Amino acid sequence: VKIQGQNKEMLAAACQMFLGKTEAEIAHIALETLEGHQRAIMAHMTVEEIYKDRQKFSEQVFKVASSDLVNMGISVVSYTLKDIHDDQDYLHSLGKARTAQVQKDARIGEAEAKRDAGIREAKAKQEKVSAQYLSEIEMAKAQRDYELKKAAYDIEVNTRRAQADLAYQLQVAKTKQQIEEQRVQVQVVERAQQVAVQEQEIARREKELEARVRKPAEAERYKLERLAEAEKSQLIMQAEAEAASVRMRGEAEAFAIGARARAEAEQMAKKAEAFQLYQEAAQLDMLLEKLPQVAEEISGPLTSANKITLVSSGSGTMGAAKVTGEVLDILTRLPESVERLTGVSISQVNHKPLRTA
């Protein structure tokens, strides 16, 4: 509800009725007025009417209460019935019965609708099948008439076509025969002409062969014979020259080998004399000359090693110094090894006097 301010009479009535009252008091008065009119209307209706026709009940309450509230300066904006109930669950029982009836009617209506739909569908199918059969029969009749007429037309057309083809083939055969006779005559004339031409060509080629092949061939044969004799003489002279060259080269190599052998023999003799003259000094000189090679062979594997693993007890030098020390240790033992192998002591030779022969 609300106070209608646009209407001066209603606004004046509201001022007279509610001046000095709070909003809650105004709402309470309006509520009690609506409840009173609602009770009055309910007294004139049965419970079933109120429950089944709520729209009618709401309209009557709205109509009666609106007229009364207008006199107070208040207009009813809306009136809604939220629920209808009683303490004995009478209305609830009515609702169950009504719901059951409605469900029953719905099931019956659904079954009847399905039955009617099935009957109508069966009739429709039957009519469709009948119409389809009639259509197929008519189509079969039309197809039969078409095939009969087409067969008759085909017989006539094929007959005419066969006659035309036969006449055409006869004419083609006659034309081919005439063409073949003309072609044979032309070939006879051509063969005669070809024979005459071939005879003339044979005579011409014989003369040409005489002039271009036989005489040049004799000249070429003579030329080849002369060239063969010259090449033979050249090969003989080359062979003799090569033999002389080989003989001279062999004699030179033999002389060189002899000279080299005599030089080596003289060198060996001088070495033998030197060894007899100096003995231990010569041997020492040879040993000292070969010691660098021995040292190089000893240290050579280290230069080609990719990785060296050192195992130590924890005392002494480590790392590269350890490897160097091992190599030096081996080199310091060389004199002892040489003495055991040759009987010559490198460390004592300098203290002995040289023995002369």
Residue 64 maps to which CATH number?
A: 3.30.479.30
Q: Is residue 12 part of a domain?
A: yes
Mean residue pLDDT of the chain comes to 77
Domains of the chain: total: 1
Q: Is residue 143 part of a domain?
A: no
Q: Is residue 10 part of a domain?
A: yes
d(CA 108, CA 104): 6
241-246: long-range contacts (C-beta < 8 A, 24 or more apart)?
none
Q: Is residue 13 part of a domain?
A: yes
**Contact status, residue 322 vs residue 302, Cβ threshold 8 Å:** no
75-79: long-range contacts (C-beta < 8 A, 24 or more apart)?
75/1, 75/2, 75/3, 75/4, 75/10, 76/1, 76/34, 77/1, 77/2, 79/34
**Chain segment 291-330, per-residue pLDDT in tens:** 777 777 776 776 777 776 666 655 656 566 666 677 677 7
Which pTM was predicted?
0.27
**What does 73-102 look like in DSSP terms, one character per residue?**
TEE-----------TT-HHHHHHHHHHHHH
3-state helix, strand, coil in the chain (%, to 5): 80, 0, 15
**Chain segment 118-134, per-residue pLDDT in tens:** 888 888 888 888 888 88
Q: What angle do CA 84, 90, 96 make, to 5 degrees?
A: 90
| Owning domain of residue 75 | 2-84
Q: Is residue 27 part of a domain?
A: yes
Q: Is residue 268 part of a domain?
A: no
The secondary structure of residue 44, as a DSSP letter, is T
Q: Is residue 238 part of a domain?
A: no
Q: Which pair of structure tokens corresponds to residue 51?
A: 């429950």
Q: Which pair of structure tokens corresponds to residue 250?
A: 């062999």
Q: Is 285 exposed, middle or buried (0-12, 13-18, 19+ CB in 10 A)?
A: middle
d(CA 14, CA 4): 9
pLDDT value at position 313? 58
**Chain segment 249-293, per-residue pLDDT in tens:** 777 777 778 778 777 777 777 766 665 655 666 666 676 777 777
Q: Is residue 119 part of a domain?
A: no
pLDDT bin (cut points 50, 70, 90) of residue 346 is low
d(CA 304, CA 323): 14
| Exposure on the CB side of residue 75, measured as CA atoms within 13 A | 9
